[in-house]
């Protein structure tokens, strides 16, 4: 998402950081190395946050960072989920297909929950990102459900699920059969993922400094 918005990505002490102001809903920093020194990560994040103007968001991927000591507040917590490769997909009734052009992308974002009063979040450049597929499930010619799937190193990431979650998961599995799926969810979305064959495998926390 950062790169699709023309922003740079910097690696710092087991984290990746956006070099500019990230799009709304997306973090400034993500921890990516569970073996990294948490104290060094905290120091780097505190330095980046001190230079920022406005809110600063951190995705604490392993729920290992005591960011409350730097005036951060928990925004929400979630669970990492994993779906084994040998599970079959469920049935689908919607017409599922990849998003392939800007007009369809605009319709997908509106169905996902985008606002006409805000700048577009999913830009056309997002459609050309390597390994990324945006799926749309339509009924009567209108998008009613969707998700984003990202294939890397034999594992498929699932995110931005909306509408009929079981159908979206099944459509993604049909596109990448016999592949493991991973992602993270909370609340009702987590319940839907577990019912579709996912299992929880870890915790994460999203922190925000106002």
Per-position DSSP letters for 148-179, written without gaps between them? EEEEETTEEEEEEEESSHHHHHHHHHHHSTT-
pLDDT given for residue 77 in this prediction: 97
**Mean predicted confidence (pLDDT) in 39-44:** 95
Q: Quick check: 35 and 53 in contact, CB under 8 A?
A: no
**Mean predicted confidence (pLDDT) in 78-98:** 95
Q: What does the alpha-carbon distance between residue 104 and residue 135 come to, in Å, rounded to a whole number?
A: 10
**Is pLDDT above 70 for 1?**
yes
Confidence of residue 44 (pLDDT cuts 50, 70, 90): very high
Its CATH class, for the domain covering 82-202, is: alpha beta
> What b/e string do you get for 163-196 counting C-beta neighbours within 10 Å, with b at 16 or more?
bbbbbbbbbbbebbeebebbbbbeeebbebbeeb
**Where do the structural domains in the chain lie, given as residue ranges?**
3-71, 82-202
**Mean predicted confidence (pLDDT) in 48-76:** 95
**Is pLDDT above 90 for 173?**
yes
Q: Torsion angle of alpha carbons 111, 116, 118, 119, nearest 10°?
A: 80
Which helix (DSSP H) or strand (DSSP E) does residue 109 occupy?
helix 102-112
């Amino acid at each position: 998402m950062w790169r699709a918005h023309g922003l740079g990505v910097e690696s710092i002490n087991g984290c990746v950081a956006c070099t500019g102001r990230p799009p709304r809903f997306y973090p400034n920093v993500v921890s990516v190395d569970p073996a990294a020194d948490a104290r060094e990560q905290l120091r780097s994040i505190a330095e980046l946050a001190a230079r920022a103007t406005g809110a600063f968001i951190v995705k604490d991927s392993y729920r290992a960072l005591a960011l409350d000591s730097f005036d951060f507040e928990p925004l929400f917590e979630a669970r990492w989920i994993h779906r084994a490769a040998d599970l079959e997909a469920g049935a689908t009734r919607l017409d599922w297909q990849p998003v392939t052009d800007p007009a369809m992308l605009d319709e997908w974002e509106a169905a996902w929950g985008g606002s006409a009063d805000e700048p577009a979040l999913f830009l056309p450049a997002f459609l050309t990102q390597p390994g990324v597929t945006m799926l749309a499930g339509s009924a009567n010619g209108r998008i009613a459900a969707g998700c984003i799937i990202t294939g890397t190193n034999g594992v498929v990431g699932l995110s931005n699920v909306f509408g009929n979650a079981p159908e979206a998961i099944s459509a993604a599995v049909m596109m990448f059969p016999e592949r493991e799926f991973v992602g993270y969810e909370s609340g009702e979305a987590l319940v839907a993922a577990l019912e579709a064959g996912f299992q929880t495998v870890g915790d994460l926390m999203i922190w925000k400094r106002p």
